[in-house]
Amino acid sequence: MQQTNLNDFINKIQNDPTLSDAHKAKVLQNAAALKDTKVNILITGGTGVGKSSTINALFGMDKAKVGMGINPETMDIKKFELSNITLWDSPGLGDGKEADVRHSKGIISKLLEKDDKGDLLIDLVLVILDGGSRDLGTSFELITNVIIPNLGNDNKRLLIAINQADMAMKGRNWDYEKNEPLPPLVKFLDEKVESTRKRILEATGVDVTPIYYSAGYQDESGSQQPYNLSKLLAFILRHTKQEKRIVFAEEINRDPKMWQKDENVEKHQKEIKDSFLESLMKVVGEGVEILADKVVDFIKEGGRWLLGKLFGR
């Protein structure tokens, strides 16, 4: 989107004879700033929760650069760099007492790290839980004792997502042909979401509602089959600062099949589209009050383009 739709946007503005040169210059300045906009996401969870498959489903990691934590305290944290998004993949707890202490220190260090502007580096913390596990004690310990106490007052940065929804009842009540849960499993997952929310609230006073999804299993053709990935992306965008949401548009997985199986696909894809377009208007139109009226039709066209480009619709 930043390479195609944004260029169309800028060309329209630059060729509008009713806009002043000052307004046009401001649009160009704002658009150039997008290139330097970064989003940092810390992803954590126990072994086998599907962090890698989640990252692959969301972003298609063949284009990522891989590194390790920059400082000695975070050496266990893997770093994946896209153009404007950096993913920090941290081990969760449960690898033994000594490892747990080391991982906790690494996570805390990363949460407290600041960027070159003096702002906290990490925009979002995504904690992935195993939907197929009954014992989530170590994950709750991670959330309540390590993450929440080091978020400051910004609990909006915390996202909790329950992966492997298809295995929540050990594979029962999942329609593999349609790639969706049957009613008994939906009820089970909804109850798991609510019990997780209540447990965290009682322990910390922080009210955070998880979502459930499946990063996907491989079908007979070998392709990944996610469920509720659109919901997960909408969830992530909802917790991202508005001015930063637009950077996701260029980074997310371009395979339309990844986004289509969802409990309410039209609602979640509309939310994604609106998030991108509102972010684009906020960033590029900042300080150009007249801009909104000038590009209403373009924004509507951009919305249709975006849905087709990202979701095959």
CATH, residue 133: 3.40.50.300
Q: Does 233 lie in the same domain as 109?
A: yes
Sequential pLDDT tens for the chain (313 residues): 344 456 666 677 778 787 778 877 877 777 777 778 899 999 999 888 889 889 989 998 654 444 555 555 555 888 999 888 999 999 888 878 888 899 999 999 999 999 988 999 999 999 999 998 877 888 999 999 999 999 988 889 999 999 999 999 999 999 989 999 999 999 999 999 999 999 999 999 999 999 999 998 655 666 778 999 999 999 999 999 998 998 898 888 888 889 989 999 999 998 998 888 788 777 776 655 555 555 455 555 555 555 555 555 5
Structural domain includes residue 254: no
The amino acid at residue 93 is L
In the chain, count H helices and then E strands: 11, 11
Say what the pLDDT of residue 219 is: 58
Q: Does 211 lie in the same domain as 172?
A: yes
Structural domain includes residue 201: yes
**225, 240, 255: which is the final residue of a domain?**
240
Structural domain includes residue 246: no
Question: What six digits make up the tokens of 234?
Answer: 């909408």
Structural domain includes residue 283: yes
Say what the pLDDT of residue 25 is: 80
Q: Does 184 lie in the same domain as 103?
A: yes
DSSP 8-state secondary structure symbol assigned to residue 229: H
**Residue 67, H or E segment:** strand 65-68
Sorted by sequence, the CB contacts under 8 Å of residue 35 that are 6+ apart come out as 84
Q: Does 191 lie in the same domain as 268?
A: no
Comparing CA positions, the residue from 156, 135, 158, 134 lying closest to residue 146 is 158
Q: Does 18 lie in the same domain as 50?
A: no
What is the pairing mode between strands 180-181 and 124-130?
Answer: unpaired
Q: Does 6 lie in the same domain as 67?
A: no
Q: What is the number of domains present in the chain?
A: 2
User: Which residue is it, tokens 């998880």?
Assistant: 210
Say what the pLDDT of residue 301 is: 55
Q: Does 44 lie in the same domain as 32?
A: no
Say what the pLDDT of residue 143 is: 95
Q: Which domain holds residue 189?
A: 38-240
Q: Does 233 lie in the same domain as 88?
A: yes
Task: Report the predicted TM-score, pTM, of the whole model to 2 decimal places.
Answer: 0.86
Do the beta carbons of residue 180 and residue 261 sit within 8 Å?
yes
Do the beta carbons of residue 279 and residue 306 sit within 8 Å?
no
Q: How far is CA 199 from CA 144, 186, 205, 209, 235, in A?
A: 10, 20, 10, 11, 21
**183, 206, 240: which is the final residue of a domain?**
240
Say what the pLDDT of residue 11 is: 75
Q: Does 199 lie in the same domain as 223?
A: yes
Q: Does 152 lie in the same domain as 270?
A: no
Question: What six digits make up the tokens of 43?
Answer: 């992803």
User: Which residue is it, tokens 């991670």?
Assistant: 142
Question: What six digits make up the tokens of 287?
Answer: 């300080």
Question: What six digits make up the tokens of 26?
Answer: 């401001």
Strand order in the sheet with 39-45: 65-68, 78-81, 85-91, 39-45, 124-130, 158-163, 211-212
Structural domain includes residue 247: no
Do the beta carbons of residue 210 and residue 196 sit within 8 Å?
yes
Question: What six digits make up the tokens of 54?
Answer: 């989640």
Q: What angle do CA 76, 81, 86 make, to 5 degrees?
A: 80
